[in-house]
Structure 1
């Protein structure tokens, strides 16, 4: 369609000779033009799609999803660890709660790698499974190590700026992965930072947890799934004998406070297998907004 000679226009620039000619079109052509513009605007605002990748494990491969900025890099990278509900659903490789965080980090210039610890092993949600086959301190720590090793081989990765972020069970795995005993034996740079959303700190607190990586714990004061007192005890106990560890407790916030558009509800009344068996879950707008700022600041250290 020729609107004007030597004409250039962006989706948002409806002006000049093109706009005047548009107004003179027939109703049918106007409708077609409107449809064309709608499709253009949808494409312009379409969310980036993740790229599936396969990461070598000692036995088999670890399936993961990768969000990568355009260009050659090198880019800082974040390994993002899903909770007990798993990474994806039936029709979506990345659930909205993790996709939103991945897109936020991507806009900040980070590549985001999301290993699928359960889907790789043909498991569904593990929140209500009594005997979990994939342990936070064992298989998931192995997945973190494999993900880091894979990133270290990618030319587009800033190898000294690879960080960790995890939610719930993924955050618990993160706490095991940053312990001094879990340090990689190669000469590659270590993780730059780690951020744990509402992990179960009770075992770590009892074991005298410490970290070799600057670690931020984010949890709601009213979280009755995890334990804010145990997380505070864990972080306080690490002072003076580990890398920097900090905890932020958001007043009035419950478990899953950073998840969008989820009214507070009792998990016991939910039929969702991806939810814990007990206690309360729900969005807290203030804590959600504050955590987004806290994550950005911690990663920019």
Structure 2
């Protein structure tokens, strides 16, 4: 009987950890850098800078909606008293799938153990978007930057996070979002991210050549990534910047190195292979950077 009670208590504890509090975050997009123009096929990327929660993209079935809210999961460290450093975690182009929920939970667990909080943000469910994979990557990276800043405002309003210690981390399209969120074009927001951790992002030419960044950036990527071109991220990193930008390139890893699923070719034709050693190293690197508040430059192979 004692054994049964102990096991049952463990199961309850595990269930609690698996189901963090879900909250609704009011979306904010009324900033000078944004426009009221709707998406059009003639201007598919700049319309990402939108004052509309839904802006008429094909992924939104052409719907336009001024206001909205986002789903999010809050992972606060155990025994947290008062505001703590927080990381806003952004999913990839497939949305908050089961696999990416599991990834964000692993990220949150690693952060919580160090006394840091995590907010896993769902950009797509309340927009009824299935995925944004492919050519729309930069558009949605721009759209989702305002999602991330809305979550930032929420954390500060609720006194959960330290205002100068909120970071953004994202995978794939979420990584692109992290890069966009650090550009000076987004500096009209009331708060600014302390740094960005971009995992397998799309380092588009506009982000390579013209973007000026407001804070440090760490890019993590596999050299075998066939979804987002590693060379583009190398070029972004090599540009002379006023802030440190570093790329850590994992040898033999592909686009799926943080997704704990059997190795396969995904629906979009990309190789996806879990690389737990690279994932663990990435989290250790991120935690060390948050603790030391020190960031390097250049490309490093691991």
Please state which band the TM-score falls in when normalised by the shorter chain. Answer: 0.7 to 0.9
**Displacement, 1:215?**
0.5
1:148 and 1:167 map into 2 onto residues whose CA distance is 18
* Aligned counterpart, 1:213: 215
Matched, 1:68 2:76: yes
Matched, 1:176 2:180: yes
Matched, 1:289 2:289: no
* Aligned counterpart, 2:112: 106
Q: How does 1:1-301 map to 2 (within 5 A)?
A: 32-46=1-15, 48=17, 49-58=19-28, 59-69=67-77, 70-89=79-98, 95-127=101-133, 135-186=139-190, 188=191, 190-237=192-239, 239=240, 241-260=241-260, 262-267=261-266, 270=267, 277-300=268-291, 301=293
Residue 140 of structure 2: SS of its match in structure 1? coil
1:226 and 1:97 map into 2 onto residues whose CA distance is 19
Residue deviations 1:231-273, cap 9 Å, x none? Answer: 0101111x2x33111110111111121223x333222xx5xxx
1:169 and 1:120 map into 2 onto residues whose CA distance is 17
CA contact (8 A) 1:254 1:280 kept: yes
Residue 139 of structure 2: SS of its match in structure 1? coil
Residue 130 of structure 2: SS of its match in structure 1? coil
CA contact (8 A) 1:54 1:63 kept: yes
CA contact (8 A) 1:204 1:234 kept: no
1:86 and 1:290 map into 2 onto residues whose CA distance is 25
2:208 and 2:245 map into 1 onto residues whose CA distance is 16
1:288 and 1:110 map into 2 onto residues whose CA distance is 18
- Bigger Rg, structure 1 or 2: 1
CA contact (8 A) 1:178 1:211 kept: yes
Gaps of 5+ in 2: 29-66, 294-302
Greater alpha carbon shift after TM alignment, 150-159 vs 200-209: 200-209
Change (3 A) 1:181 1:205: closer
**Displacement, 1:185?**
4.2
2:282 and 2:252 map into 1 onto residues whose CA distance is 14
Paired residues, number: 252
Residue deviations 1:123-163, cap 9 Å, x none? Answer: 223337x768x932432111112111111212232111100
1:265 and 1:66 map into 2 onto residues whose CA distance is 31
Residue 148 of structure 1: SS of its match in structure 2? helix
